[in-house]
């Protein structure tokens, strides 16, 4: 069963239009551990095979990780390992990059350094602002995320250490 858990209400109306359960769990005024305990309690109701972290701009604690080992999937808005963390398009702009990309990866305790499922890039140039790069990057993020989820759901991805083996 699908569900959306978010620390922001912005997707609530959209998910309800598609009859997808939406759980708003704000993180303000809560410790990271307390917020994660709430998330884990909601996840337990669904017993998911995988948890997708999309637009989840918080680092998970080591207490959360063991519950979903090799089952947490993140879409990162850069071609990892370049530009880890927040604001990768601003970083790419500042460095004069000629390509930007996206990376779907399993999440582990190594921040943005975990087993990569899929990646892709698109060309950019000096005429584009960081904002324009981010807009262009959204398309490649969607493609990489869709491709990675298809491979994971079709059991074409095997995690070996900090790498993945992909069976096409």
The answer to whether residue 57 scores a pLDDT higher than 70 is no
Alpha carbons 117 and 63: distance in angstroms, whole number: 23
The answer to whether residue 41 scores a pLDDT higher than 70 is yes
Return the percentage of the chain with pLDDT > 90, whole number.
59
Angstrom CA distances, 132 to 18, 43, 94, 96, stand at: 30, 36, 13, 14
At residue 113, the pLDDT reads 74
**pTM for the whole thing?**
0.88
The ranges of the chain annotated as CATH 3.40.50.170 are 51-166
Average pLDDT, the chain: 89
Is 112 catalytic? The answer is yes
At residue 112, the pLDDT reads 65
At residue 103, the pLDDT reads 92
Residue with structure tokens 């972290």? 53
Alpha carbons 138 and 158: distance in angstroms, whole number: 27
Q: How many CB atoms lie within 10 A of CB 52?
A: 18
Instruction: Kindly indicate the confidence band of residue 49, based on its pLDDT and cuts at 50, 70 and 90.
Output: very high
Which residues have C-beta within 8 Å of that of residue 127, sequence separation ≥ 6?
A: none
For the chain, the straight-line distance linking the first and the last C-alpha, in angstroms and rounded, comes to: 26
Instruction: Kindly indicate the confidence band of residue 144, based on its pLDDT and cuts at 50, 70 and 90.
Output: very high
At residue 8, the pLDDT reads 87
At residue 79, the pLDDT reads 84
Q: Which residue has the higher pLDDT, 40 or 168?
A: 40
Q: Which pLDDT tens digit goes with each residue over 62-112?
A: 888 888 888 999 888 888 888 877 788 898 999 999 999 999 999 877 766
At residue 59, the pLDDT reads 79
- Domain spanning 51-166: which superfamily? Formyl transferase, N-terminal domain (3.40.50.170)
Return the percentage of the chain with pLDDT > 70, whole number.
97
Indicate which residue of 112, 125, 154, 168 is catalytic: 112
Q: Which residue has the higher pLDDT, 132 or 77?
A: 132
The separation between CA 109 and the C-alpha centre of its own chain, rounded to angstroms, equals 14
The answer to whether residue 151 scores a pLDDT higher than 90 is yes
């Amino acid at each position: 069963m699908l569900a959306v858990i978010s620390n922001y209400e912005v997707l609530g109306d959209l998910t309800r239009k598609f009859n997808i359960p939406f759980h708003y769990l704000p993180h303000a005024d809560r410790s990271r551990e307390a917020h994660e305990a709430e998330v884990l309690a909601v996840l337990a109701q669904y017993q998911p095979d995988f948890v997708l972290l999309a637009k989840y701009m918080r680092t998970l604690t080591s207490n959360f990780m063991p519950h979903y080992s090799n089952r947490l999937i993140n879409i990162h808005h850069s071609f990892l390992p370049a530009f880890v963390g927040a604001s990768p398009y601003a970083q790419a702009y500042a460095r004069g990059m000629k390509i930007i990309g996206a990376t779907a990866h399993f999440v582990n305790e190594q921040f943005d350094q975990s087993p990569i499922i899929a990646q892709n890039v698109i060309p950019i140039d000096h005429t584009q602002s960081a904002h324009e790069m981010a807009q262009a990057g959204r398309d490649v993020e969607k493609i990489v995320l869709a491709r990675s989820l298809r491979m994971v759901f079709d059991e074409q991805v095997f995690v070996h250490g900090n790498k993945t083996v992909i069976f096409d």
